[in-house]
Every structure is written in C-alpha cells, then in structure tokens.
Amino acid sequence: MKFSHFCQVLSQLEQTSSRNQMVVILSGLFKNLRPEETAETIYLLQGRVAPLYEPIEFGLSDKLLVRAISKAYEVENSAVVHQQQKLGDLGKATETIASQRGKNVKSDQSVFQVHARLFAIAKTSGLGSVDKKINLVGDLLSLLDPLSVRFVIRIVLDTLRLGFSDMTMIEAFSWSIDNSKAHKLIIESAYNIRPDLGQIATILKKDGISGLRRLQPSVNTPILMARGERLTSGEDIINKIGRCALEHKVDGFRLQIHFSKKRDTVRLFTRNLEDATVMYPDVVEGIKQQINAAEAIFEGEAVGYNEKSGQFLPFQETVQRKRKYHIEEKALEIPLKLICFDVLYKDGQTLLSRPYGERRKILEDMVKSGPVLSVIEEKVVETPEEVKVFFQDAVTRGLEGIFAKRLDGAYQAGARGWNWIKYKRSYAGRLEDTLDTVIMGYDYGTGKRTSFGIGALLLGVYNPKKDRFETISKMGTGLTDIEWKEMRQKLDLLKVSEKPARYEVDKAQTVDIWVNPKIVIQVRADEITRSPVHTAGKDNQQLGYALRFPRLETIRDKIPEDASSVAEVISIYKAQGKQKV
C-alpha cells in the first residue's frame, strides 16, 4: 500500500466522529492490506512503530523537528515556528510549508518503506544520534507529499490522535470478515493474551479466525491483566462464589513477570503494559534466584519493605521506587518484596484456563524460598463469618482490604469478572473506598490558578458495554501549586481540538481543553450521589452518578480502560445505603 493512500485514510478518520463509521473505514483499510505489510500499517495507525509494550520512542521534541523541517524545505527555523504558532499543530504547519515550497510530489513510498525509515529513526542512538535523527527525518519528509508529512510529524511527536480505541480496531477486524461484529469476542480473547494489534491482524490475514483460536501466551509478550469485581460483605461473597480462597490486598505495584532461564532474561510489565524492568533490579535478581522453571509468566505485587522492622511500607513510600534515575541508590534505601499471587504460563503450557486452586499449587512449587519473592498468604473459607474475620485482620494490619478467589475460576485475561472479588472498606453514609478515574479534560484556572492555566479536571469512569468514558466529577482539590503546573504539562501533550468520540458528556460539563484518555488518577470522595449533569450510569430518569468533594490521591499505573467501571460506581453507591437503583 502506498503511504500517500494510507494518509488519505488517516485524514478520513480524523474528520469522522462516528464510531461505527470509523469501524467501516478501518475495515476497508484492513481488507486492502497484504499480510507482509499488515503489522507495520497497524502500528502506524496507533502512532507507533512497534507494539505498545516495546519501549521504542523517537526522542525528538518540537524544537528538534523544526530543524528537520527547515532542512527538508530549505526554510528558516523561524518560518516553521511561525506556521506552528499560527496553526497550533506542527504537522499542519509542515504540510503548509511543503505545499508552499512546491513539494506537491506524488510519493511512491510504500507504508512498509516509511515504517522502516521511521523505525530506523527511533532506533538511532549513541554519540551524535540527535543530529542523525534530524537528518533522517528531513530526508524522509523530502520524499513525501504534503498530506503525508502532516501525519509523519504527528507520529514522530506522538500526537496522532484519531479518536478510536483498540476495541474499535478489533470490531473493524471482525467487520472486514463478513460485515458484522460476530467475531469480536474471539478476536478480543486473542488480543487479551497477545495485546499486539499488529500481530493479531497478521495472524487474521494469514490464518483467519482459526489462527486466533490457536493463539497461546508467549514469554516477553504481556498478557492483559485480570481484574476483580467488588462486593461489600462476607455474605455477598459467599452467596456469589461459595467456598473460596482469601488473600490480603497488598498495596504496591502490580507486576507481570516474564522469565526465561535459557535466555537468562526477566521482563517486568505494569498494568498499562509499560516495561518497568530497569526500575527494579532487586526484584529481577530475586526472580533469577528463586524461580524454579525453565520459563514462566506470573504475577505479583512489589511492595516496599523495612528490613529492620520486618514491616511493609505504605504505598506513598513504595511509589518512590518508580523512577528512571538513581535507581540503585533508591533500591538500597527502599528494598522491595515481590508477593506472588498467580501463574499464567509455565514451561510451554498455558495455565489460563486451569482452576485457580491448581494454579496456586503450581505457583507454590515454582517459587523457591528466598529473601525477595514469596507466595501470598491464603485461607480457604466457607462461611461469611470466616470472611469477616479475615477482612478485619487485614484492616488491623493497615491493609485496604482482601481478595476472594473462586477455587475453580480461570484467569480471565483482560476482563473484569466474578472469579476475583475485591472487598474493601466502605461504610454507609461515607465513601471510604477510592475510585480510579480518567482525566477527560480541564478548565482554565481562576484567581491564583490563572497563571497555571488550569484549575479543574473533568473526570470520568469507563463503560465497557459501550466502550466509552462517562463523566463522574469535576475536581479542583488535592493538588499543590507545583502539581497543578506539572499536571498541565502532562495534559497539554494529550490535547485535542474537539471532544473525543468516546466521551459521553453533558453540555453543562463542557471543558476549556479536551484531552485524549491516557492519565488515570485515584481519587477519594465523601460519597457518591445522583446527578442530572454527569453521565456515568445515566438512567431513564436522566440521573447519573457523581462524586461529592473529590480529591486526588495519586496517579495510577493503568490503561484508561482499567479505570473504575460504571458498574463499580453503582455497586459502591448501593453499599452506602442509598435508595435502590
């Protein structure tokens, strides 16, 4: 496929707000791809050159790209900056300059060729790499037509925001087969095991749906993490799943570990598929010493530990280990323990469909005794009173709650289900639990915050049935002056000119600046109330749910679709003792 044709499709998508129309456009593109160019095309659609979990970035700022554009079109840097300021988008500015400089060439570059050049730019490193990257970008721009350079610049800057999610892509793959969404669940199940849309699309092209049915976990490709539902009493838990295993809910970093003894490799992935291996060298070394397997994929919670007192540290101290610099020093100051709680794959065999009780036994046999790794304490119970006692013990220890796990339950990759149930502190009349919310946009500041350019955040929760984000609050508290300024810097990298298609927002909650769903924050509030102006769970009476007096707790390490769901919000609301809904 010619890259110029690909960019025409991107332009169509950019001008489309209808999700269904996006599915049709994407499926048409997919049908026209050859197997050998499919993965590269899908990655570029996502604004990348590799899957999300591969830490391959371009490392080029606006200022550096201005130099590349100036080189390609033989104009002054100031002319490029002027166009950028005029149009508010370096991609459009480059397109305009290309047209003005008579660069209306008919490019014969293929998607495969452009991807190869972009990949080479991203991988360039070492002494003099910045100048090399600038020259490579300039060379690529000179080969392309004006529309194509608009999207190349956005890909390099990581600002290609087309308004569709991975779920939209999955529906498009299904639609490309027989103009229906009948195959969505099969494709989504494969994606949950291998969250690499390029690879999923290539297998679908070559082997069809049957190829995806045969897909198995692979070491070094993360599996989307399972999530639990919530209940608020021992009675509810036993009524729901019967005899079950209880575990304390440890408050640290959830990690998925990919281990290969033959290759002597360990990779640590977070909930949002970030490769965090370099951050936790003590955990990596502990895994190499304590795992009794040729290869394995398993999960655990990394928690700060006080070696003198033998106590786990609060999350506020553990979180200091998440850093890119001074890693070794901080590892000595705050050592980590990895509390292992599930195993998904071992020595060539997938364990995802095995009962939890069987996976637990495999995990216990796999983790050798040692200073860093341990298997989480478990108690099998049959009565609500036993659940209550275990929960109260967790609260006494300063933990936020417990997990109940169905003994015959499979590992539900990428899904929220009743095989795992969270039981956290939530009392009638006051919300003691926290919610993970997505930042959807922000309003400009007033008063002292005028100079910050930000004063309130619009927060939303996820509706998985409709694949959209629905508002639950506007929040203006919980951040210091410095944190407000830092938050604006993060959000301005995600700015879009219009409300994203996946947002359901009442006109009364329109914000000054919309951002793409990327940042998930944990908030605490006094209670959940019904609201006529928020769309989370809005019913036939036109009432949604809202947070009363929300304040920021911390930024979460999650993908936006892993934020609290509408169903969770309703469940917590009911637990407050409000009227039935």
Active site residue 205: no
Can you say how many angstroms the Cα of residue 495 is from the centroid of all Cα atoms in its chain? 17
Specify the DSSP class assigned to residue 367.
B
Give backbone dihedrals phi and psi of 503, rounded to 5 degrees, phi first: -95, 130
**Which one, of 346, 384, 391, lies nearest residue 365 by Cα?**
346
The neighbour count for residue 258, using CB atoms within 10 Å, is 25
What count of other Cβ atoms lies within 10 Å of the Cβ of residue 476? 19
Do residues 379 and 245 touch, judged by C-beta distance below 8 A?
yes
Whether the Cβ atoms of residue 225 and residue 414 lie closer than 8 Å to each other: yes
Among 71, 132, 249, 499, the one annotated catalytic: 249
CB 89 within 8 A of CB 97: no
Q: How far, in Å, CA of 281 to CA of 267, rounded?
A: 11
The Cα–Cα gap between 42 and 199 comes to 9
Q: In 3D, which of 152, 64, 75 has the Cα closest to residue 113?
A: 152
Bin 154: left if φ > 0, else alpha if -120 < ψ < 50, else beta.
alpha
Residue entry with tokens 């071992």: 346
User: Strand, coil or helix: what is 345?
Assistant: strand
Would you say 545 and 570 are in contact if contact means Cβ atoms under 8 Å apart? yes
Number of residues written out for the chain:
581
DSSP character at residue 307: T
Helix (H, G, I), strand (E, B) or coil at 328: helix
**What one-letter code names the amino acid at 522?**
Q
Of 464, 404, 465, 259, nearest in space to 343 by CA:
259
Please give the Cα distance from 527 to 262 (Å, whole number).
52
Distance CA 276, CA 319 (A): 13
Distance, CA of 280 to CA of 320 (rounded, Å): 11
What's the CA gap between 321 and 338, in Å, rounded? 13
Residues with catalytic roles: 249
